[in-house]
Amino acid sequence: MDIAEAPQPEYRRACFADLEDLAAIEADVFDEPYLYLMLRQLFELHGSEWLVAELGGAVIGYALTLEKSGRALLFTFAVAKQYQGCGYGRGLLDRALRACGELGTKVMYLTVRPDNHAASNLFKQAGFELVEQDNRYFGEGEPRDVLEYRLFPETELAILNEIPSFVASARNGS
């Protein structure tokens, strides 16, 4: 499907009812997925920081960013396999970056397996830069590339009108 012709998802904050969909995407995409119980605990702590992409009533992707002191970790990010390659991952990533920019985040960073070329290319095409290669990031035999994206809130302010409604409602406490 041509990306220009692909139906556009709704991007919104995650809700508790999304957890089963998130767990299914985890199991679909990752060899060692987070279990439902882990996702539940993450949601309890960081639910308002979790963005989902919903298409036709189904969650097709998610991004969880954890922000502290001007730095945001893209903690987990995935798009269901059947929706990969349609531009949904880039759309989700762009919205996560915009949301962090509105919060005043200076840097978003993430880790990616060096052999995950599709994800690495997505992040690099979006403007992330390799800052470190750590062969033991998660222990022996668990290498990760560390990538960073420098946000410039002044520039991001010019596109605030494009920020989805979930950010506005987050700012208003709803």
pLDDT value of residue 7: 85
Grade residue 164 by pLDDT with cuts at 50, 70 and 90: low
Q: Give the model confidence (pLDDT) of 99-158 as tens digits.
A: 998 888 999 999 999 999 999 999 999 999 999 999 888 888 889 999 999 986 444 445
Which residues pair with residue 150 across a beta bridge? Answer: 107
Q: Report d(CA 55, CA 162) in Å as an integer.
A: 19
pLDDT value of residue 3: 52
What global pTM score does this model have? 0.81
Q: Give the model confidence (pLDDT) of 4-41 as tens digits.
A: 577 899 999 999 999 999 999 999 999 889 999 999 99
Q: How far is CA 33 from CA 60, 109, 129, 163, 164, in A?
A: 16, 20, 26, 30, 28
DSSP letter, residue 29: H
Q: Report d(CA 103, CA 139) in Å as an integer.
A: 32
Nearest residue to 166 (alpha-carbon basis) of 8, 46, 10, 60: 10
pLDDT value of residue 129: 96
User: What is the pLDDT averaged over residues 41-61?
Assistant: 94
pLDDT value of residue 103: 87
What element of type H or E holds 71?
Answer: strand 71-79
Would strands 144-150 and 71-79 be described as parallel, antiparallel, or unpaired? unpaired
